[in-house]
Amino acid sequence: MAKKATPTTTTYSPSPTVHKTRPSLFRTDDVNWVRPDGRGFHQCRPAFFRTGAVNAASGSAYAEFGNTKVIVSVFGPRESKKAMMYSDIGRLNCSVSYTTFSTPVRGQGSENKDFSSMLHKSLEGAIILESFPKTTVDVFALVLESGGSDLPVVISCASLALADAGIMLYDLVASVSVSCFGKNLLIDTVLEEENYQDGSLMITCMPSRYEVTQLTITGEWTTSKINEGMQLCLDASCKLVEIMRSCLKESAVTISEE
């Protein structure tokens, strides 16, 4: 896990107040403006995936996008709780938690209480629930370090963990977000950018089926901008899913070699 896809600049997560002067930079339509980590506006952070991070789980995955580091473990399918009513399709139970040290201010991550239900909604459309009736699959995600665009990373990583656990899926799920700053669209924002964004758009999709399982938008958007943002996200998720797929293949090769 220590091996990184590219050398990332390891800086301390900056306290937001230090960058108080930044917003003026975002406001201008200065095309030459450089993002905090030197990426282009439409360039994603280098993604790193690895399956089998947790031995006790049926399947697990670790993902690292810049400073955002998450680990997802999948348990099951196992018998549903006795109190649950009979169900001829499987149940999906998702939970997203933050470590207390994941954010610049201790324990701030717990503010994102809706992430668990968002993860659930993003994944349920991709899982063939009919394949495991009367049972439950638990997906536990833990954000080790929050470096921006946490939810998309959690979702992509969770779908990889599901695949690693051998849960039947229609397709891998990839998730990407774009943020809008004035007239500019920035893909895969980091934490310090997120604090000043005018709006954000997150798409979760199954690239091979070309279907969107989840979409959220906040802030003010025109239809043309939504179009542009969606296209940007969809293209990026097609590339992202390739990386995920190669990671799965790699792990399969290692197993067969052993």
Partner 1 sequence: MVGLSTGEKLFIQAGIAQDLRTDGRGRLTYRPISIETDVISQANGSARVRMGGTEVIATVKAELGRPNPMQPDKGKVSISVDCSPTAEPAFEGRGGEELSTELSIALERCLLGGKSGSGAGIDLSSLIVVEGKLCWDLYIEGLVVSSEGNLLDALGAAIKAALSNTGIPKVHVAAEALDNEQPEVDVSDEEFLQFDTSGVPAIVTLTKVGKHYIVDATLEEESQMSSAVSISIDRHGHICGLTKRGGVGVDPSIILDMISVGKHVSEELLNKLDSEIVAAEADEEE
Applying CB under 8 A, which residues contact partner 1? 16-17, 23, 113-114, 117, 120-126, 170, 180, 194-200, 205-206, 209-223, 226-227, 230, 234
Q: Which is nearer to partner 1, 5 or 128 (CB)?
A: 128
Within 10 A of 11 (CB to CB), how many other CB atoms are there?
A: 9
Which amino acid type is present at position 21?
A: T
> Please, what is the minimum distance in Å from the beta carbon of residue 122 to partner 1?
7
User: In whole angstroms, what is the distance from residue 173 CA to residue 170 CA?
Assistant: 9
> What does the block give as tokens for 155?
């979702």
Sheet holding 174-181, edge to edge: 184-187, 174-181, 199-206
> Please, what is the minimum distance in Å from the beta carbon of residue 180 to partner 1?
8
Q: Which is nearer to partner 1, 136 or 213 (CB)?
A: 213
Q: Which is nearer to partner 1, 53 or 191 (CB)?
A: 191
With contact defined as beta carbons under 8 Å apart, do 213 and 126 qualify? yes
> Please, what is the minimum distance in Å from the beta carbon of residue 50 to partner 1?
27
> Please, what is the minimum distance in Å from the beta carbon of residue 70 to partner 1?
20
> Please, what is the minimum distance in Å from the beta carbon of residue 103 to partner 1?
14
With contact defined as beta carbons under 8 Å apart, do 123 and 159 qualify? yes
Q: Which is nearer to partner 1, 55 or 223 (CB)?
A: 223
> Please, what is the minimum distance in Å from the beta carbon of residue 132 to partner 1?
16
Tally the C-alpha atoms within 13 A of residue 238's C-alpha that lie toward its C-beta.
9
The answer for residues whose C-beta is within 8 angstroms of residue 147's C-beta and 6 or more apart is 13, 65, 66, 67, 68, 69, 190, 191
Q: Which is nearer to partner 1, 68 or 179 (CB)?
A: 179
Q: Which residue has the tokens 């279907």?
A: 211
Q: Which is nearer to partner 1, 119 or 247 (CB)?
A: 119
For the chain, what's the residue count? 258
Tally the C-alpha atoms within 13 A of residue 115's C-alpha that lie toward its C-beta.
22
> How far separated are the first and last CA of the chain, in Å rounded?
19
> Please, what is the minimum distance in Å from the beta carbon of residue 149 to partner 1?
13
Q: Which is nearer to partner 1, 44 or 206 (CB)?
A: 206
Whether the upstream peptide bond of residue 77 has omega within 30° of 0, thus cis, is yes
